[in-house]
Amino acid sequence: MTTILTTSPGFGKHGRVPDLIAEKGWTLIRAADTSKPDGGMSDHIAEADFLVVGLVPVKAESLEGASKLKGVLKHGVGVDNIDIAACTAKGLPVVNTPGANADAVAELSLGLMFALARNIPAGHASVVSGGWDRKVGTQLGSKVLGIVGLGNIGRKLALKARGLGMKILATDPYADREFAAANDIQIVELDAVLAASDYVSLHVFGGAGNAALINAEKLALMKPTACLLNLARGEVVDLDAVAAALSAEKLGGVALDAFVSEPPDVSHPVFAHPRTVCTPHSGADTKESVENMGLMVIEDIQSILDGKTPGRCLNAADLA
């Protein structure tokens, strides 16, 4: 019998995924104990043939006692919370689901832009409290959108934003320049994106290389009316610097879907600012996206069970 341990709250719940798991006769264990830092993963790791990872970190010590484990699979794209070297040392393939949630995250980015542009959270709060505070907003058409990270999500966002009539700038050292040229996307350096954009949407990987990528110095380059959106990882943005910029009216607004600690410490001043909009790291949380990710995970688990290396394996070369 194959046992799957998951720390992802959405894995195995949507679309065809639950039926496929049942048809295959696999057992699914959820590590969802919020009182424990790892959700209770360590309590069940010895039983697991496969570990399907959400946002809980997978460290070398997380794999201690994992005598049956055959693979570590991310129910998502970003693998900055997985110690790939530790997995490789134990001979474990690490696989993710690139592209599966790109539409979902891109759509939330657009939604957050609309929320900021049209003061939607404040308007809702006014009406339900018995008020009628009509605030004049702005339109997205003709505005400049700066995309930091032109990967699967960034490309989807660019196409959707172009449909609204937005002008697109992007920065990415590995940008698909053929795609950019074909879709009227100007590739420039980060500073140029920040200086020219009305909205800046972040879609880069987390980790030490991108820690505080957007700091006080970078925020100072932005228009005082511009809005910043973080749909990447919490550490990519210096929240102290963001709060200071908002307070000094040097930044038009901020939308946050990712935080260093989740849930975040809401005593931080950025959360009290009226031009802050937050969502609970839900960029990938659509039924369609979660199903897509789940189907890819099932496909890769079956490949490993069949003695094959999944095409999406991130450490295949090191395991050879």
Give catalytic residues, as residue numbers.
Answer: 233, 262, 281
Pairing state between β 253-256 and 50-53 = unpaired
Q: In angstroms, rounded to a whole number, what is the distance separating the alpha carbons of residues 53 and 317? A: 21
**Residue 29 · residue 6 · CB < 8 Å:** yes
Residue 256 burial (10 A CB sphere; 0-12, 13-18, 19+) = buried
Closest listed residue to residue 41, CA positions, set 54, 26, 25: 54
Give Dmax over CA atoms of the chain in angstroms: 65
Closest listed residue to residue 164, CA positions, set 122, 195, 198, 191: 198
Enumerate the β-bridge partners of residue 171: 148
**Residue 102 · residue 152 · CB < 8 Å:** yes
| Helix ranges (DSSP H) in the chain | 17-24, 41-44, 84-89, 102-117, 120-128, 152-163, 177-182, 190-196, 216-219, 239-247, 287-305, 316-319
Q: Could you give the C-alpha distances from 140 to 109, 116, 157, in angstroms and in order?
A: 12, 10, 13
Closest listed residue to residue 81, CA positions, set 41, 111, 141: 41
Closest listed residue to residue 207, CA positions, set 171, 233, 240: 233
